Structure 1
Amino acid sequence: MSKAESKKQQMAAGAALSVKRGEKPESSLRGASKEMARSMSEDELRELASTKRKDLPEKASEE
């Protein structure tokens, strides 16, 4: 996995990572973040969540 492609993806990864670490209950997640928490490893989530948001678009472009 590479860096996050959008701010929303970065924030969803951060939320999923906090569930993986036991900081939040899984019931606090919705949509993409819930799926990320179930299907990705903590290392993958950490890589996505650590992406700097400054130059990212709000949403990924649909190409």
Structure 2
Amino acid sequence: MNNAEHLKNIYINLYIKRANISYLSPLKGQYNNPIKHNLFNLINILINTGSVLIVVLESGNYA
């Protein structure tokens, strides 16, 4: 498995976990705890950054 495939698998797993959190969060009171809300936003930023990195790696345009 090359690096792009490995990162793609990580991204898919994180995306599934994020979808599960997003689905359940309204029931849990997502915005009641500002620390949890900030952590949730940080995780989303990291996942989105990872998806951009995967696109760059898979396109073969290495810097």
Tell me the TM-score range normalised by the shorter chain.
0.3 to 0.5
> Is the radius of gyration larger for structure 1 or structure 2?
2
- Tell me the TM-score normalized by structure 2: 0.40
Task: Say which structure is richer in helix.
Answer: 2
TM-score, normalising length: structure 1? 0.40
